[in-house]
């Protein structure tokens, strides 16, 4: 993911910085997959976790967690990622059913949607991320003989580089409707980088396109320092999420999109917990309180 080269805590790729958070999300998806009431299925997720030295000892089933769902990290936080996966799966599939045939995953990480979702004919999934992350994913999925269910186009580039040229050179057509996803990306970006991506997505899209992403309401991150979710994550697997988040004031990306002709909807994760009957609910000193999921649709000109 963009903006993290100076914050790495280990080697390049999936064993340092944001790469380890990608493994955290994969572990959460693996745990969700094996639940009897799973909201999302990702049969590949556990293979990423087991293949990377940084995560080889992590649980991939809730029964491997001593406290089960009472564990703040592998219970509540993992359930959050399972819920997020389901909600964004639904958004992408709804968008392609409405006519988009180009899917762009920004900071794709260990996303396997090209392999696990049932795409309509003619869909192309563009995955943009650093070379090391995509190479690791290719190695693991190749070992499983995994076959994508849509045309999959990995684009090995940093989002700080000229990824627009790389995307269009790979066959992306700005004149055709598209759907974009920035899942768990903007937390880590400086304000200028988030604003640039918002502007670029608008410039590369036509009417009928869609965009989903996650943001965190601006507040003092130190207020979350004692959150059970964050302290448990740091204690159990050594990831200081607050140290990875960018501390700059956040831009009004929702307002920017609305001003550019997009219809936007901002929801809390708890809205979808209530909708699906599963997932995290608010608690005291809640690190998830400020998380927002944004869904945007570009109006025809």
Residue 72: CATH number of its domain = 3.40.50.150
Please compute the mean of the pLDDT values over residues 81-109 and round it to a whole number. Answer: 97
68 pLDDT higher than 60: yes
218 pLDDT higher than 80: no
Its pTM stands at: 0.93
Higher pLDDT, 220 or 52: 52
User: Out of 164-178, 207-221, 251-265, which region has the weakest mean confidence (pLDDT)?
Assistant: 207-221
Q: Which tokens sit at 203?
A: 């410039």
- Residue 1: what pLDDT? 40
Residues facing residue 153 across a β-bridge: 126
- How far from each other are the two terminal CA atoms of the chain, in whole angstroms? 32
Q: Which tokens sit at 279?
A: 């997932």
66 pLDDT higher than 90: yes
State the residue range of the domain holding 209.
5-298
User: Out of 55-64, 107-116, 154-163, which region has the weakest mean confidence (pLDDT)?
Assistant: 154-163
188 pLDDT higher than 70: yes
111 pLDDT higher than 90: yes
Name, in order, each residue with C-beta under 8 angstroms of 128's C-beta and a sequence gap of 6 or more: 104, 105, 106, 107, 108, 155, 157, 159, 163, 166, 167
Closest CA to 106 of 199, 2, 209: 2
pLDDT digits (tens, 9 = 90+) for 1-21: 433 333 332 334 565 545 899
Overall domain count for the chain: 1
């Amino acid at each position: 993911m963009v903006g993290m080269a100076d914050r790495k805590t280990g080697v390049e790729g999936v064993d340092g910085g944001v790469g380890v958070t990608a493994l955290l999300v994969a572990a959460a998806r693996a745990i969700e997959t094996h639940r009897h009431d799973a909201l999302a299925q990702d049969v590949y997720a556990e293979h990423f976790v087991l293949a990377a030295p940084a995560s080889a000892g992590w649980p991939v089933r809730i029964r491997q967690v001593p406290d089960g769902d009472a564990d703040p990290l592998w219970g509540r936080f993992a359930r959050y990622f399972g819920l997020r996966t389901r909600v964004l799966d639904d958004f992408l599939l709804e968008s392609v059913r409405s006519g988009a045939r180009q899917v762009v995953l920004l900071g794709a990480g260990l996303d396997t949607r090209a392999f696990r979702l049932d795409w309509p004919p003619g869909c192309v999934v563009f995955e943009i991320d650093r070379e090391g992350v995509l190479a690791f994913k290719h190695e693991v999925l190749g070992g499983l003989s995994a076959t994508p269910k849509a045309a999959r186009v990995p684009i090995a580039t940093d989002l700080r580089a000229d990824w627009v040229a790389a995307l269009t050179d790979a066959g992306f057509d700005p004149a055709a409707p598209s759907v974009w996803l920035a899942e768990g990306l903007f937390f880590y970006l400086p304000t200028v980088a988030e604003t640039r991506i918002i502007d670029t997505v608008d410039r590369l899209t036509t009417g009928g396109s869609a965009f989903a992403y996650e943001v965190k309401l601006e507040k003092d991150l130190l207020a979350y320092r004692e959150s059970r979710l964050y302290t448990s994550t740091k204690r159990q697997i050594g990831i200081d999420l607050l140290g990875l988040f960018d501390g700059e004031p956040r831009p009004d990306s929702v307002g920017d999109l609305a001003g550019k002709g997009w219809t936007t909807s901002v929801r809390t994760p708890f809205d979808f917990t209530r909708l699906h009957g599963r997932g995290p609910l608010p608690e005291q000193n809640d690190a998830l309180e400020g998380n927002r999921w944004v869904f945007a649709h570009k109006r025809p000109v």
